[in-house]
Amino acid sequence: MAITFAAPPPTAVPTAQTAGAGVIAAAAAAIAERVRASVPVVFGPGGNGSGVVWRSDGLIVTNSHVVRGERAEVRFSDDRALPAQLVARHPDRDLALLKVDAEDLPAVEVGDSSTVRPGQLAIAIGHPLGFREAFTAGVIVAAGQAATERGPRVGDFIQADVTLLPGNSGGPLLDARGRVIGINTMVNGELSLAIPSQAVERFVAGRRGAAAAYLGVNGVLVPLRRPSEAVGFLLTEVVEGTPADRAGLIIGDVVIGLDGAALVDQESLPAALLRLVPGQAVQVDVLRGGDPRLFTVVPTERA
C-alpha cells in the first residue's frame, strides 16, 4: 500500500520506524518541490490532467486520454497559461505530445526505466480532484510487466502502489533522485500503472506513433535446472508472420539471453525488451530441446 505520512502526537517518543518515515517524507517533499515546476496542469476537452515538461523548448508529454482533441491549455506552477498544440499521439501507449510557444522551460531529468526494480521508492506528482501539485509516495511493485485479461504482459508498464486519482493522469512517476521513470496512466486494482520512461523517450524522439520494438512472442518465465542459466522465457505463442516467426523461433523454445545479456530474473526480460530498437537486429539465445541455438531477429514496430 502507499505510504501515508502523519506527524506523531507531541508526547510520542520517536522510534526508528517513525524516524525513518520522517526522513522518507522529507526526501519525497523535497523532490516534489524541485520537480513541481515541470508538472503543469493540462486542460483538455471535458476535464484536466497532468503533464511533464520533457524538453525545455516547449515539448510536454501527457496521456492521450487527457487530450482528446488537437488543442489544449497548459498552466504552470507560476500560473502562466499557454495554448498547446498536439504534435503527436500514440493511442495504444496512451501518450500525447504537446507543444507550447515557450523556451527555457524547466525540463525534467529522464531516468532509465530499464534499471527499475521492485522495492524502490516511487513518487507520483499530479493535480488530482482539483488539488494542485499533490504528491504521493510508495514503492515499485513490478517493473515491465502487468496482469491483464489476456494474461501477463511484459515490457509494458511499471506498477507501483502510489495512489492515483482523476487528474493524476499524464503526470510523472519519479525515483528517489527525482528522475522520471514513467508517465502515470491508469489504475489496475490497487496498483498504479506507468508507461516506462524509455518508451516515452522513444515516442518523443520520433514525434510520431512509434511503439516499442515488437518480436511477436508470448510466454512465461520458467526456472531452469542448469548451472549457467537460472531462468528462461518459455515461448507459448509465436505469432505467424512476425519477426520471431520469420527468424525461425517456435513454440517450446526457451529464450535465455538477448544480445549476449543473460536473463537472470523476472525483471531482466522486460528491461531487455525495452532496450530493443525497431529495425535493429538482435541476437536471441535459445534452448531448443535442451540444446543451445542462436537466432537473429529484426524487431518491427507494433502497429
| Residue numbers of the domain that contains 166 | 1-207
Mean pLDDT, rounded, for 284-294 = 94
Do 105 and 185 lie in a common domain? yes
pLDDT given at position 15: 45
Confidence of residue 9 (pLDDT cuts 50, 70, 90): very low
CATH number for the domain spanning 219: value is: 2.30.42.10
pLDDT given at position 1: 42
Q: C-alpha grid cell for residue 65?
A: 486520454
Do 123 and 229 lie in a common domain? no
Whether the per-residue pLDDT at 184 is higher than 50: the answer is: yes
Do 267 and 182 lie in a common domain? no
Do 202 and 224 lie in a common domain? no
Whether the per-residue pLDDT at 260 is higher than 50: the answer is: yes
Do 190 and 225 lie in a common domain? no
Q: Which of the residue ranges 63-72, 121-130, 197-206 would you say has the lowest mean pLDDT?
A: 197-206
Confidence of residue 6 (pLDDT cuts 50, 70, 90): very low
pLDDT given at position 210: 47
pLDDT tens-digit profile of 189-241?
A: 788 999 989 889 888 887 544 456 788 898 888 989 888 888 899 999 999 98
Q: Which of 65, 77, 112, 161 is catalytic?
A: 65
> Is 98 or 3 the better-scoring residue by pLDDT?
98
Do 177 and 257 lie in a common domain? no
**What phi and psi values does residue 135 have, to the nearest 5 degrees?**
-130, 150
Q: Which of 50, 64, 90, 94 is catalytic?
A: 94
Do 203 and 151 lie in a common domain? yes
Q: Which of the residue ranges 10-14, 133-137, 144-148, 220-224 would you say has the lowest mean pLDDT?
A: 10-14
Q: Which of 50, 64, 169, 197 is catalytic?
A: 169
pLDDT given at position 99: 95
Last residue of a domain, one of 155, 187, 207: 207
**What phi and psi values does residue 271 have, to the nearest 5 degrees?**
-65, -40
Last residue of a domain, one of 186, 207, 228: 207
Mean pLDDT, rounded, for 161-178 = 92
Distance CA 182, CA 174 (A): 7
The mean pLDDT of the chain is 83
Q: pTM of the prediction?
A: 0.65
**What is the domain count for the chain?**
2
pLDDT tens-digit profile of 77-86?
A: 999 999 999 9
Is 94 a catalytic site residue?
A: yes
Distance CA 163, CA 174 (A): 13
Do 245 and 201 lie in a common domain? no
Is 101 a catalytic site residue?
A: no
Whether the per-residue pLDDT at 250 is higher than 80: the answer is: yes
Mean pLDDT, rounded, for 239-261 = 92
pLDDT given at position 147: 52
